[in-house]
Structure 1
């Protein structure tokens, strides 16, 4: 009887104990098939067969969902629908067989060993070792990179044979076969890391300067990663290690040609994008042509280096920069030439450079002067005060202004281009002008200081009154967390430039991490902001009383002396314009995503206009004020200049016009009238920009059409689909695209009464309301001679502009652009009539 019980117990254990399908190592005679996997010792990584569009053998992070694949063996030899088997031969060769026993992939190991073992290491490296010598790798997957560079892996280029390893992108997100893009080390001149497409250079992270690749601006990288760049007579290699082993990080080349660095965040149980490149249009290779410099904070973004002028002024004026710039004065090819020092720039393309590790900077300058083709020089290594010599010859290509970092380098110019060779008369004139300017500046500063003191006092009183009001918890007050300044300073690394996300009309925006790990965006009111305490209070009171999934969430504020800070939820995907107007990133916005964004903005506006307990006019709706969360859902932000309307109020009027050029409605720009239909106009512009991938303010077609006019012409000629951004590809739904274009044109009608309200716009988007035929949009060329054109003040960036009344002085940042405008228009602006 007892033996029967034991038998029953053993039978039950056999049936209810799960089978163990994970292995620690594979030896000859063993295999991996089906759902069997090989795991690393700490179970960080797992290797086995996986299904995408076909069957593959790959490596992925164990336990993460969705599965994150970092390497695939047979990426270009899929198994189809058959079941694969992985074997290790007696000689140490790895072989993948299909269902018929045919070998579809092999490691082609040339070294024959006794007692080979296949292991998966904790860094994700799949290795073949000898049982008696496990530290010596006879083969490793790190020598055959896929699309992901893991810590400890290195990209290598052989300087003798020319062979190199590279990251190769997937064909698309479900097809791991070799794609179009390659990330590798180019060995011409001074070796540098590049991204190419079919051999064509697209993006250049740059050459090594001793600390980091010269084209990378982020200083945060130093805190978490240890980068290495090793250059010998035979080989150059590049890789990185983690300084904090508790961090999980990967660096990958996407199927669209972007390089992205991710860090796994336990708080959200997912990957957070840490760094991406190309980051903006200035990262596009040679966008400004030879001897041109790119700066995304300027408009236009391209400028010639000092001492150079556009090769074709006409093309340059049309923002066609490919011809680049040429010297204003030819070099004398001798000692009379000199050098201008540049700082904070990405070093030019080093493929036509020469370098020497032993020379110092003074010797480098002398050597450059001896060669008539030498155009510039710099230190090879920036550490410990600088060392080595790097020379460039002929044209300088692919430079940009970096937000942080960069390196000093010296560009050769003719003697007449140097400031110190201007002659005695010019010096004397300069001194006199300088004295006059100093006196004027001093007077101006006194006026500004007195005015600022008055404004600060008024602002402090407004803040105190507002704070007392909210502290009393009046029924009309608000209940919002107040943060200490020290808490926000610690969260943003004391408002470090490396934490800066951007800048708007309110002031700079910083990324911060609170003590509980929550990431936030901090808006800091700037002293020279066009906004002040009134706008600060306005934004807090408005957004704190609004709750909608398509509005950004205010987490709190901070008031300390003159500091005024707004703390928002952090949007990992930044703003809509970050993707939409970038040649590379715009392809990430397929049509379903664009349509989702349009619908989300519409729902957010409908809430502001009709569904919230306050009736709100935003007044500064634009793509940079549409933030995107991790799922690319849109959230309307920036309510500093919004206005509340009463139930019986339909329209407001002001002499102080606020908003951004390209999005302001004509009745608001010319007469100061604003209403919900002003926001509808801005929404219509955004819709057409989302469809086309082009900015309204920068678009010119046949020199007389803005984007609205171009869309109208295509509509009238029954060719509306030609407006659609080509990068959308075949992901679009024709009926949705046409519906959006039709509705966008209805929203930008000149007369407010002809525009739909947002409830009608939402119904149109959903296909629940028929669309009428639009009329000619506002600002179409027949109106260019009218007052509607007068709103076009010079503006050098995307920040909000304020159009002041005639009694207000025009600020210098507007005056600096006047030479680009016709004399009559310039005269009108100086009189204050515009």
Structure 2
């Protein structure tokens, strides 16, 4: 099955030198590049296999013995369903002549692999509970889920986090209205535009390309790198740009609480703080972080100090308000003596609307 614009094709493919076969969507121009895999955990180990669309609108992959090894498992049903590969690379199940995304019975964009295509989402549908995240392959020839998971963490003010197993590995920081604060090269570009949505129904990030002839994808690699790939026909190859990798200062909690990592890959305590364990700190063990030199006394009207060119603190313990102004935010945050951050920003939550966010991060 080929998309109308000829950019994508659906079929049974084997990645690299692997003999296993997977129902995959891959690029026609970048022929060996797979954008999505259905049966990541259940490969066909023989050459025979079949993709069936049932009368109820469910996709099933059958092995050589007609056993179902993968299913789209939709809970709804459509009359006269059809499967279609859209120009975006999205495999959808819909009714006859119905292209409204709100009416899709099922779509591959709701079940990302290791790749974020333009139009795909990272985040969560708060109404249905559906989550969109990227999971790395185990290796370049094994698409089963590997160690790394890239997601928009919404347990506080939303931020992008790369997980290594169950441990936070790298934090990209929250959306600051232009980009994610911890990734300087994820800013505005003349070839793609970002969109961040935060409302009562859903929270997500997605992007779109500016030019139709440019192919783009963001992938989470088996080694934990997050890479933006750009393809132009003139060079006939992917041009990679690393968005995230485990540099010294980017490893999660490298310098502990109230510590800051500088350009020389050394940890220092913020002004007004000192190492919690001076002996360990002098031995370059920074995990215990820093503590206040003088205990905080909320009754003394302590104020906030501006810190420039730094990644925002972890926002998983934060609370936020999308309607407060900065003065209201400054008054509200010190009511909690553990509040350590006041931030006020204009956030374009969609292409049509902007809101003001005020959030306070709690120690």
Same fold (TM over 0.5): yes
Following superposition, the deviation at residue 78 of structure 1 comes to 0.8
Provide Cα deviations, 1:755-788, integer angstroms capped at 9, x if missing partner.
xxxxxxxxxxxxxxxxxxxxxxxxxxxxxxxxxx
Given the superposition, is the C-alpha separation of residues 382 and 236 from structure 1 closer, same or farther in structure 2, using an over 3 Å criterion? closer
Matched, 1:360 2:329: no
Residues matched between the structures, number: 354
Q: Is the 8 A contact 1:356 1:389 kept in 2?
A: yes
Matched, 1:46 2:12: no
Uncovered stretches (5+) of structure 1, i.e. residues with no partner:
1-37, 395-834
Following superposition, the deviation at residue 173 of structure 1 comes to 0.8
Correspondence list, 1:488-527, <5 A = none
Alignment-derived partner of residue 136 in structure 2 = 169
Matched, 1:261 2:228: yes
Matched, 1:90 2:55: yes
Bigger fraction of residues in strand = 2
Q: Is the 8 A contact 1:361 1:387 kept in 2?
A: no
Provide Cα deviations, 1:775-810, integer angstroms capped at 9, x if missing partner.
xxxxxxxxxxxxxxxxxxxxxxxxxxxxxxxxxxxx
Provide Cα deviations, 1:195-238, integer angstroms capped at 9, x if missing partner.
11222111111212222212221265433222122122242122
Following superposition, the deviation at residue 336 of structure 1 comes to 3.1
Correspondence list, 1:385-534, <5 A = 387-394=356-363
Mapped to 2, the partners of 1:63 and 1:224 lie a distance apart of 19
Alignment-derived partner of residue 596 in structure 1 = none
Matched, 1:70 2:1: no
Mapped to 2, the partners of 1:125 and 1:311 lie a distance apart of 51
Mapped to 2, the partners of 1:89 and 1:386 lie a distance apart of 45
Alignment-derived partner of residue 24 in structure 2 = 58
Mapped to 2, the partners of 1:375 and 1:64 lie a distance apart of 48
Provide Cα deviations, 1:435-484, integer angstroms capped at 9, x if missing partner.
xxxxxxxxxxxxxxxxxxxxxxxxxxxxxxxxxxxxxxxxxxxxxxxxxx
Q: Which moved more, 1:89-98 or 1:312-321?
A: 312-321
Matched, 1:245 2:219: no
Alignment-derived partner of residue 223 in structure 1 = 190
SS of corresponding position for 1:241: strand
Q: Is the 8 A contact 1:167 1:182 kept in 2?
A: yes
Q: Which moved more, 1:252-261 or 1:273-282?
A: 273-282
Given the superposition, is the C-alpha separation of residues 218 and 344 from structure 1 closer, same or farther in structure 2, using an over 3 Å criterion? same
Correspondence list, 1:4-23, <5 A = none
Correspondence list, 1:357-756, <5 A = 357-381=322-346, 387-394=356-363
Mapped to 2, the partners of 1:335 and 1:363 lie a distance apart of 19
Mapped to 2, the partners of 1:200 and 1:238 lie a distance apart of 22
Query: Relative contact order (C-alpha < 8 Å, sep 6+): which is higher?
Result: 2
Q: Is the 8 A contact 1:361 1:388 kept in 2?
A: no
SS of corresponding position for 1:340: coil
Provide Cα deviations, 1:143-178, integer angstroms capped at 9, x if missing partner.
110000000011232446765221111111110111
Matched, 1:348 2:313: yes
Matched, 1:102 2:102: no
Following superposition, the deviation at residue 386 of structure 1 comes to 9.3
Matched, 1:139 2:106: yes
Following superposition, the deviation at residue 271 of structure 1 comes to 0.6
Q: Is the 8 A contact 2:298 2:334 kept in 1?
A: yes
Matched, 1:332 2:332: no
Provide Cα deviations, 1:602-624, integer angstroms capped at 9, x if missing partner.
xxxxxxxxxxxxxxxxxxxxxxx
Following superposition, the deviation at residue 255 of structure 1 comes to 1.0
Q: Is the 8 A contact 1:82 1:98 kept in 2?
A: no
Mapped to 2, the partners of 1:112 and 1:49 lie a distance apart of 26
SS of corresponding position for 1:251: strand
Picking from 250, 255, 261, the partner of 1:288 is 255
Given the superposition, is the C-alpha separation of residues 162 and 331 from structure 1 closer, same or farther in structure 2, using an over 3 Å criterion? farther
Alignment-derived partner of residue 208 in structure 1 = 175
Given the superposition, is the C-alpha separation of residues 97 and 216 from structure 1 closer, same or farther in structure 2, using an over 3 Å criterion? same
Q: Is the 8 A contact 1:378 1:389 kept in 2?
A: yes
Q: Is the 8 A contact 1:109 1:139 kept in 2?
A: yes
Given the superposition, is the C-alpha separation of residues 196 and 385 from structure 1 closer, same or farther in structure 2, using an over 3 Å criterion? closer
SS of corresponding position for 1:91: coil
Given the superposition, is the C-alpha separation of residues 359 and 77 from structure 1 closer, same or farther in structure 2, using an over 3 Å criterion? same
Q: Is the 8 A contact 1:71 1:148 kept in 2?
A: yes
Picking from 238, 263, 279, the partner of 1:271 is 238
Q: Is the 8 A contact 2:183 2:243 kept in 1?
A: no
Q: Is the 8 A contact 2:122 2:132 kept in 1?
A: yes
Uncovered stretches (5+) of structure 2, i.e. residues with no partner:
none
Q: Is the 8 A contact 1:357 1:380 kept in 2?
A: no
Q: Is the 8 A contact 1:56 1:75 kept in 2?
A: yes
Alignment-derived partner of residue 150 in structure 2 = 183
Q: Is the 8 A contact 2:109 2:120 kept in 1?
A: yes
Mapped to 2, the partners of 1:152 and 1:79 lie a distance apart of 29
Mapped to 2, the partners of 1:222 and 1:331 lie a distance apart of 43
Q: Superposition RMSD on alpha carbons, in Å? A: 2.1
Provide Cα deviations, 1:65-123, integer angstroms capped at 9, x if missing partner.
4x000101111111112411111111111111111111111111222212211111111
Mapped to 1, the partners of 2:180 and 2:293 lie a distance apart of 31
SS of corresponding position for 1:133: coil
SS of corresponding position for 1:134: coil
SS of corresponding position for 1:43: coil
Following superposition, the deviation at residue 184 of structure 1 comes to 1.2
Mapped to 1, the partners of 2:281 and 2:130 lie a distance apart of 40
